[in-house]
A and B are shown apart, each in its own frame.
Chain A
Amino acid sequence: MRKVGVRGWLLHDVTHRGITAWLLAAVIFAFYIVLYFGGQYGIPDLVSPWAEQLGLSSKWVLYGALYSAAIVLGGFWMLWKYRHNRYQVVRTLVVMVVQVTLGFSVPQMLKHAGQPEYYFSYLWPLKIDYFYPYNITGLPWPYVVYSVVGALVMVPVLGVFFGKRWYCSWVCGCGGLANTAGEPFRHLTSKSTPAWRFEKVAIHTVLIAALLATALAIGSALLPEESPIVPVAGKYREFYGIIVGGILSGVIGVGLYPIGGTRAWCRNFCPMAAILGLVQKLGRFRIRVKKDMCISCGLCSKYCEMGIDVRSYAQANQSFTRASCVGCGMCAEVCPRGVLTLENVTRKDPQEAVRRAPGRASLPIIT
């Protein structure tokens, strides 16, 4: 840790794109490539033997356990670091509990009980195969109802009332890892305009690709087997799985942590984040900016893991809703002047009522 006269942690190699950070990134890259593609393309499967040694049914169970451990350990660190901020404490606890239960142990218990290994915390289009015909027809009906109602009703409705954060930074495992074990790297996300341009194109491209994959899968199930669409749909589904499910969410999504910040997947590629972002723009969530109090220090922008230039809104006295904002609340936490606050705008909010009150003249003077 810090010693007398030593420059602090930001300039540390690991958190500052130094040689250790690059090495760490390379290790994570290699791990994910072996995990996803081991046993194919001539890549050795190094993870399965470990899972066997430990008596686990597959490498994915081992991966799930490691992933959960990272979130729990990182989570305890978060709880300590932000113990003064109740939003962070509650949010981190929820993320930890959801990962350990819905994200790991519940599916394993279901499997042991002879049920399908079903992840209630992942929904279409993030978990795109829950809409694929083999799941729709193969799963027991309560799971199918949850898949469909969850994705098409619960996600957007909660999104309207609470913004995309209810999922992206309270439930989702991808966000969970970013906001716990990924915490030391959150400031590395690029805040540049080119990065924002890339984000807008990339995330909507993946969304269209996901919609296309779903449409082709369902279409090919309805079409006769000899239709030329069927093999194309199959190939496309495989391609989508490798590119989006493997490379973008795993290899790049986590591998980039020490180099490009924690939310590369969530920001640029996640189709669920794309949908929730569009819902969020129409919904009630926003970041409120206190008038005239910003000192343009830029801590909010620096520590935004989604690369939002929060300062540009704060210094312009502009409350805002950005599609990419996952509502992690860190801009409000780091602001030294308490300028920012996350809120779901409701008509019942007394502060809002005060703000909307008519001019001074109509108010009684000294009551």
Chain B
Amino acid sequence: MHIVIVGNGIAGITCALDARSRDASARITVVGGESEFFYSRTALMYAFMDKMNRRDLEPYERDVWRKRNIGLVTDWVVDHDAEKREVKLAGGKTLTYDVLVLALGATANVPDWAGLAETKQGVVNFISAQDLDACEALVPKAGRAVVVGGGLIGIELVECLMHHGIATTFLIREPYYWPAALSREESQMVIAHLREQGVEVVVDESVERVESTGGRFNAVVTKSGKRYAGDILGVCIGVRANLERMKSWKSAPASRRGIIVDERFRTNLPAVFACGDCCEIERPGRAPLIETIWYSAKRHGALVARNVFGDDVAYEPPVFFNSSKFFHIEFTTVGEVEYAPAGTPTIFRHRSGKHVCQRIVHDGTRVIGFNMLGSRWDNEVLARWVEERRSPTWVLRHLAEAQHDVELGRMNLQAFDEVNIPLAKLGSPPHA
């Protein structure tokens, strides 16, 4: 049996490693053109900030692939024939498969701003190793930068640029930062922190056009007519499934916003699976699911590794969790905060004068989610409380049990002001 996995990101590599653990004899080949070895995309910012070397981003020693007998091919797939069960590579090679797993990942959303197409130099995304190359090439000559997009990748890029002494303007379309995940109070805290770090944060402004001279980026002009000059333009307005390359294939699986798969990650083509950021999961009686975070890609890959051997396991996402870090503010979210409508009752705990807060979202009788900023929390405990349908009063009484701060440094939960306030958030779609 030959399993060919297209994409050597976290979904594809998790699939390869788990498939190998499951079956010692299957032939496993991973094809990926972005990098020779799997690297941790989430750590790109640490390489940019010189906290790590590129090589340090590789989560596995390089001889792991030989030891675990996983073939790596550094190339791009240019064609796929479902009848012959083969994929053609840009380098001319052809691989014949028994099972094909597409883990194509995601790519940056391209906005339709006037003047962007003419701007050839100085515009960067921050998603791939190639993006990092581009950023690093621009840094030595840059004095100012503008980053557009109020999400996770945007704030990471802002942090990196600030680290290199580049004065950065952070342009956010919504009235506050990351409204998809944060509500007003948390967002204001993050923005205050960004301003303390010297970032120029501009909210409620969207880009009208991009100005350039000789193809080199100069400035963005917003809809309200303000002009923000810079040498680098960071475009971080979210990601979409990476389906471009698939368009020229002889047999491409059916896709909408992503490759359409069922709950077992099967596409409409026989023996072809898709997982990770590139797929859209159809669920009978429920809205299709698109998950584009590290943790979901890892789960998808692990599940596909079972289904390719005929285990027939349906995907059921666990209680949602995610994490991030906004400069120095650590963020843990668990449960239904992102999807809870505005007005949902919450308990908001804040410590005056410090960028630390906890938000417990509930429906009156049971807790449905947590948004924790500025200190460390054990997502496993919080998720269990959501699963166990714990009441808000019970959770408040036991809150300390979910703390995960460093030894001797446990945050004193008594020192917080506690108020009952409804969730204040916007209805706008997630940005990044």
Contact = CB atoms under 8 A, between A and B. Distances in A.
Interface string B353-396: 00000000000011000000000111111001001111100100
A342 B407 contact: yes
Contacts of A6: 140, 164-165
A332 B164 contact: no
A354 to B, nearest CB: 5
B95 interface: no
Q: Which of B51, B58, B139, B140 has the most CB of A within 10 A?
A: B51
Contacts of A337: 323-325, 330
A311 B52 CA distance: 14
Interface string A333-367: 10011100111000000110011000010010111
Contacts of B106: none
A4 B50 CA distance: 15
B315 interface: no
Contacts of B379: 290-293
Contacts of A354: 381, 401
Interface in B289-320: 294-295, 298
B307 to A, nearest CB: 20
B404 interface: yes
Contacts of B40: 295-298
A90 B408 contact: yes
Contacts of B422: none
Interface stretch (A7-15, A106-114, A210-218): A7-15
B61 A4 contact: no
Contacts of A292: 295, 298, 321, 379-380
Given A4-B143, A329-B407, A366-B389, A295 B42 contact: yes
A301 interface: yes
Given A87-B406, A337-B323, A10 B53 contact: yes
B321 A5 contact: no
Contacts of A227: none
B325 A336 contact: yes
A193 B67 CA distance: 13
A298 B61 contact: no
B142 interface: yes
A209 B10 CA distance: 46
A315 interface: yes
Contacts of B378: 290, 351
Given A3-B165, A293-B379, A366 B51 contact: no
Q: Which of B295, B377, B380 has the most CB of A within 10 A?
A: B380
Contacts of A192: 61
Nearest to B397: A367
Nearest to B43: A297
A343 B321 CA distance: 24
A90 B407 CA distance: 10
Contacts of B285: none
A298 B37 CA distance: 15
A85 interface: yes
A169 B365 CA distance: 47
A225 B330 CA distance: 68
A293 B323 contact: yes
Contacts of B164: 2, 4-8
Nearest to B295: A292
Interface in B13-28: none
Contacts of A235: none
A299 interface: yes
Nearest to A327: B407
Contact of B365 (A312, A338, A350, A366): A366
Nearest to A303: B51
Interface string A266-299: 0000000000000000000000001111011111
Interface residues of B, number: 61
A165 to B, nearest CB: 10
Contacts of A301: 56
Contacts of A293: 295, 321, 323, 332, 379
Contacts of B365: 366
A164 interface: no
Contacts of A366: 365-366, 389-391, 394
A86 interface: yes
A302 interface: yes
B391 A351 contact: no
B407 A290 contact: no
Interface string A6-48: 1111110000000000000000000000000000000000000
A290 B52 contact: no
Given A297-B40, A366-B366, A338 B404 contact: yes
Interface string B149-166: 000000000000001111
B57 interface: yes
Nearest to A365: B389
Contacts of B389: 365-366
A293 B377 CA distance: 11
A291 B409 CA distance: 21
A343 B407 contact: yes
A10 B366 CA distance: 48
Contacts of B61: 192-193
Contacts of A299: 43, 46, 51-52
B66 interface: no
Interface in A183-224: 192-193
Nearest to A1: B165
Contacts of A2: 164-165
Contacts of A9: 50
Nearest to B10: A296
A18 B49 CA distance: 19
B50 A11 contact: yes
B43 A351 contact: no
11 contacts: A5-B140, A5-B142, A86-B406, A298-B52, A337-B330, A338-B323, A338-B404, A341-B407, A366-B366, A366-B389, A366-B394
Interface of B: 10, 40, 42-43, 46, 49-53, 56-61, 63, 136, 139-143, 163-166, 294-295, 298, 321, 323-325, 328, 330, 332, 365-366, 376-381, 384, 387-391, 394, 400-402, 404-409
Q: Which 9 pairs between the two chains have the least Cβ-Cβ distance?
A: A297-B43, A86-B409, A338-B376, A8-B50, A10-B50, A295-B42, A296-B59, A291-B380, A4-B165
Given A86-B406, A298-B56, A360-B388, 10 more contacts: A5-B140, A85-B406, A293-B295, A295-B43, A296-B43, A297-B40, A298-B59, A338-B330, A341-B404, A367-B390
